[in-house]
């Protein structure tokens, strides 16, 4: 039995459910079992593995022999006891994490994460304490610290909910859990990290309410939104969304998919991982350990007659080449890159080894974006422009500054940061004959950017200046974010 196949199922699941992995293919795993699993067990497996589950009935003795052969048990101090299909696990830690105070504490943490619209929940183990922090509007806000002895059951409870092995603290583990607060159900992607003082956990909140948005809800400038709709009308070509990590690229791509889905097209995506399920769209998770790479998946896509292909991230020359070939053969391809501005995406493709002629032929548009914090409406007040530092002022055009600006003084509503919520800054470069000729001639990044601005592209900086003038955000925030 291949090691990659064995790694798909943690030993804890194998012992608990008395199952064995038999086969795996795209989006599906076949398990051997002596009795059909109940619906709850099947849902746990499907949700955590992010794939469909097929059950193959086998004799109980055969199952037990395979488990003993391929999942030898560790010493008793480090393992969960063997259990039946409805087990009671006699591990003291397991008993502790199922006690009411721990359950309540975990529920309160997850409730607050959803209520505060945090993107991440951090639980960080240090020598004597565990620090608990929320990331809200891109900034880490400390909630409290717990003595490490009290935090261990809490960490284990979260791992248990994510269907991880709570006795394994030497290796990193990844899982998913689901929590409901005030009739709002949210998924969390959990990652554990062993440190010198114990485990640290990060839970990324996957809120379907935020991801299942249309372009109209992204607060795009009207002219840019119209141009973006025109790009999505094209029957083929390459469209790139670019920006640093945390700039909202996935949200924008999903909004584009929502627009395209309404046109009765066949849409198919390759994602690493599939974090949000979209009804009516074929989504394929990348799984490098079993050879399901972006490159292999993209080649398979071309045999499934798609109209639109979305590639979660273009990481290398081969993926870029296949994506461009797909756009040449009648497909609209959407993907992301990590660059600082729209023109930088073209330079990045060339750096990857792509032929400038192919880029000029296939590329239709590039959308660069950032997220900036908005001034808190509860403590928003005017601020004299004379008090800004020369360094910040130098970042903007001298003719820009109005007589008064705005700032948040800080209050309980915004955790005393002066900001609440975020808004996108966008820069859309659309290709025309002049820009295609410059790409073919291997023009520099600065030349491409200058030509795009001459032809009407509104830069990230210009858009930032506009929302500062309107009192939506501050000079410092725009300066900091665009400098990324």
pLDDT in tens, 16-28: 778 999 988 877 8
Q: Delimit the CATH 3.30.300.160 region(s) of the chain.
A: 3-71
On the question of pLDDT at 177 being above 90, the answer is yes
Average pLDDT over residues 213-219: 89
Q: How many CA atoms lie within 13 A of 297 on its CB side?
A: 28
Q: Delimit the CATH 3.40.50.300 region(s) of the chain.
A: 215-483
Question: What is the CATH number assigned to the segment(s) 3-71?
Answer: 3.30.300.160
Architecture of domain 215-483: 3-Layer(aba) Sandwich (3.40)
User: Measured between alpha carbons, how far is residue 185 from residues 102, 177, 240, 295, 386 in Å?
Assistant: 21, 11, 31, 34, 47
> Do you find a cis peptide bond into 273, omega within 30 degrees of 0?
yes
Alpha-carbon torsion (392, 393, 396, 402), positive or negative: positive
On the question of pLDDT at 305 being above 50, the answer is yes
Q: Delimit the CATH 3.30.450.90 region(s) of the chain.
A: 101-206
pLDDT in tens, 16-70: 778 999 988 877 889 999 888 877 677 667 766 767 888 999 998 898 888 888 8
On the question of pLDDT at 484 being above 60, the answer is no
Q: Is 121 exposed, middle or buried (0-12, 13-18, 19+ CB in 10 A)?
A: buried
Lowest mean pLDDT among 39-43, 112-116, 217-221, 334-338: 39-43
- The secondary structure of residue 288, as a DSSP letter, is G
Q: How far apart are CA 190 and CA 249, in angstroms?
A: 21
Cα radius of gyration (the chain): 25
- Tell me which residue has tokens 């992607």: 189
pLDDT: which is higher, 453 or 147: 453
pLDDT: which is higher, 182 or 310: 310
Per-residue confidence band for 182, with pLDDT thresholds at 50, 70 and 90? confident
Q: How far apart are CA 12 and CA 18, in angstroms?
A: 10
CATH 3.30.450.90 correct for 101-206 = yes
């Amino acid at each position: 039995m291949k090691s990659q196949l064995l790694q798909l199922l943690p030993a804890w699941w194998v012992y608990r459910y008395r199952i064995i992995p038999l086969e795996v293919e795209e989006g599906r795993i076949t398990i051997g079992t002596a009795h059909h699993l109940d619906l709850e067990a099947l849902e746990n497996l499907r949700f955590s593995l992010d794939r469909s589950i097929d059950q193959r009935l086998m004799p109980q003795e055969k199952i037990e022999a395979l488990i003993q052969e391929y999942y030898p048990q560790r010493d008793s101090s480090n393992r969960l006891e063997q259990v039946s299909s409805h087990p009671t696990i006699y591990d003291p830690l397991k008993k502790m994490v199922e006690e009411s105070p721990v359950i309540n504490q975990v529920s309160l943490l997850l409730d607050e994460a959803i209520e505060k619209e945090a993107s991440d929940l951090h639980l960080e183990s240090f020598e004597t304490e565990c620090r608990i922090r929320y990331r809200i509007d891109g900034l880490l806000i400390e909630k409290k610290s717990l003595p490490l002895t009290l935090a261990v059951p809490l960490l284990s409870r979260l791992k248990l909910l994510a269907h991880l092995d709570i006795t394994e603290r030497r290796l990193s583990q990844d899982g998913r859990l689901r929590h409901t607060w005030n009739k709002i159900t949210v998924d969390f992607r959990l990652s554990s990290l062993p440190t010198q003082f114990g485990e640290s956990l990060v839970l990324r909140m996957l809120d379907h309410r935020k991801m299942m948005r249309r372009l109209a809800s992204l607060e795009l400038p009207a002219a840019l939104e119209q141009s973006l709709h025109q790009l999505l009308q094209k029957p083929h070509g390459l469209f790139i969304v670019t920006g640093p990590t945390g700039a909202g690229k996935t949200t924008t791509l999903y909004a584009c998919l929502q627009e395209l889905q309404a046109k009765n097209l066949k849409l198919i995506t390759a994602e690493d991982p599939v974090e949000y399920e979209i009804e009516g769209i074929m989504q394929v998770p990348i799984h490098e350990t079993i050879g399901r790479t972006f490159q292999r998946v993209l080649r398979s896509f071309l045999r499934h007659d798609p109209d639109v292909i979305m590639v979660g991230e273009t990481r290398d020359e081969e993926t870029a080449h296949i994506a461009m070939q797909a756009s040449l053969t009648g497909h609209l391809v959407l993907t992301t890159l990590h660059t600082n501005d729209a023109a930088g995406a073209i330079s990045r493709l060339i750096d990857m080894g792509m032929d400038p002629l192919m880029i000029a032929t296939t590329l239709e548009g590039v959308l660069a974006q950032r997220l900036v914090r908005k001034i808190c409406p509860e403590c928003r007040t005017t601020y004299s422009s004379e008090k800004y530092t020369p360094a910040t002022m130098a970042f903007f055009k001298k003719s820009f500054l109005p007589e008064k600006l705005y700032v948040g003084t800080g209050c309980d509503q915004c955790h005393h940061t002066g900001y609440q919520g975020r808004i996108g800054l966008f820069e859309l470069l659309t290709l025309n004959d002049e820009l295609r000729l410059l790409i073919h001639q291997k023009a520099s990044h600065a030349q491409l950017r200058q030509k795009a601005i001459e032809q009407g592209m509104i830069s990230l900086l210009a858009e930032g200046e506009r929302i500062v003038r309107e009192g939506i955000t501050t000079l410092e925030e725009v300066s900091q974010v665009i400098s990324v």
